[in-house]
Chain A
C-alpha cells in the first residue's frame, strides 16, 4: 500500500517529469531573488523579479509543451 508521503513525493516529482524546465526556472528564480535580497536590493526590485521569473518559467514551459504536441 502506498503511503501518503509516497503520494505527495510522486505529485511533487511529477512536476519535474512534466517539465523539468519549469521546476529549474522556478527554483533558480527563488535563489536569484534571495541573492538580490542579500545584496540589499529593495522590494520594488525583488518583488517583480520573483513574479517575472516565475511567470516566464511558466510561459516558456507552456510554449514548449504546446510545440511538442503531435
Chain B
C-alpha cells in the first residue's frame, strides 16, 4: 500500500511538474510554427527530443551535474536576441514606420507551400528556436525526473512515466489549438511571438545570472505583460518620433 502511494505520488509530481515545462515549450513551438512554418519548427522539436533521448541514454543521472545556469544564459540570450528584434520590427510596423506585410498573400503563399510540401530552403530560425526551447525545457524535465526518482528506490520508472504522459498530453493539446492559431494575422502573431520570446529570454537570462524573481515562475506573466505594454506605448511613441 505504502509502495503504491509512493509510486503514484512520484508519478503525479513528475507529471504536474513536467506539464508546466511542456506547456512552456509548446507555447513557443506553436508560435514559431505559426509564423515561420511548421515543417522546420517540428523538425527542430524532433531533433531536440532526439538529442535529449541520446543524452539521457548516454549520461543518465550524470545530467544532473550539467550547470543549468550556463544553459539558461546561453539559450535566454539567443531568445532575447530574436525576441527583441521581432518586437522592434512589430512596434515599427504597428506605428506605420515600416510597411506592413501583405498578410493575406503571405499567409496564402505559406499555406500553399506547406500543403504542397514545396517550401524551398531550410528555415534555420524556426528550427533553432524550436530546438532551443524543447532542449531547455526537456533538460528541466530530465532534472525533474531525476529529482523525483531520488526521493526513493524504484521511483525512476513512475517518474519517467509521469513525465512522458505530460509530454503526450501537451502534444495532443497542440494538435487541438494549432488550427485556431493559424487564423490569427501574421503581423499580430509576430508581435505576440516577439513578446513571448523576449519575456522567456529575459526570464532565463535572469535565472542564469542569479536573479531571484519575485513570485518565482509567476514572474513570467509579469514579463509578458510588461513587454506587451511596451508595444502599446512604443507604437504611439514611434508615430510621434516619425512626425517630428
Contacts and interface: CB of A to CB of B under 8 A. Distances in A.
Contacts of B197: none
Interface residues of B, number: 41
A43 B122 CA distance: 41
B41 to A, nearest CB: 14
A12 B201 CA distance: 14
A61 B82 CA distance: 15
Contacts of B239: 66
A50 B124 contact: no
Interface in A13-54: 14-15, 18-19, 22-23, 26, 30, 33-34, 37-38, 42-44, 46-47, 50-51, 54
A59 B213 contact: no
Contact of A30 (B127, B209, B242, B244): B209
A54 B198 contact: yes
B112 interface: no
Contacts of B237: 59, 62-63, 66
A43 B234 CA distance: 26
A59 B14 CA distance: 41
B211 A43 contact: yes
B92 interface: yes
Main secondary structure of the interface of B (DSSP, over half): helix
A19 B125 contact: no
B122 A4 contact: yes
Given A30-B205, A62-B234, A63-B237, A42 B125 contact: no
> Interface centre among A11, A46, A50, A58, by most B CB within 10 Å?
A58
B88 A22 contact: yes
4 shortest A-B CB distances, which residue pairs?
A: A43-B212, A66-B241, A7-B124, A34-B209
14 contacts: A11-B124, A15-B85, A18-B88, A26-B80, A30-B205, A51-B226, A54-B84, A58-B84, A58-B91, A59-B237, A62-B91, A62-B238, A66-B92, A67-B244
Interface of B: 77-78, 80-82, 84-85, 87-88, 91-92, 95, 97, 122, 124-125, 127-128, 198, 202, 205-206, 209-214, 219, 223, 226-227, 230, 233-234, 237-239, 241-242, 244
Interface of A: 4-5, 7-8, 11-12, 14-15, 18-19, 22-23, 26, 30, 33-34, 37-38, 42-44, 46-47, 50-51, 54-55, 57-59, 61-63, 65-67, 69
Given A66-B95, A66-B237, 18 more contacts: A11-B125, A12-B78, A12-B81, A18-B85, A22-B85, A26-B80, A33-B206, A47-B211, A58-B87, A59-B237, A61-B88, A62-B95, A62-B234, A62-B241, A66-B92, A66-B239, A67-B242, A69-B97
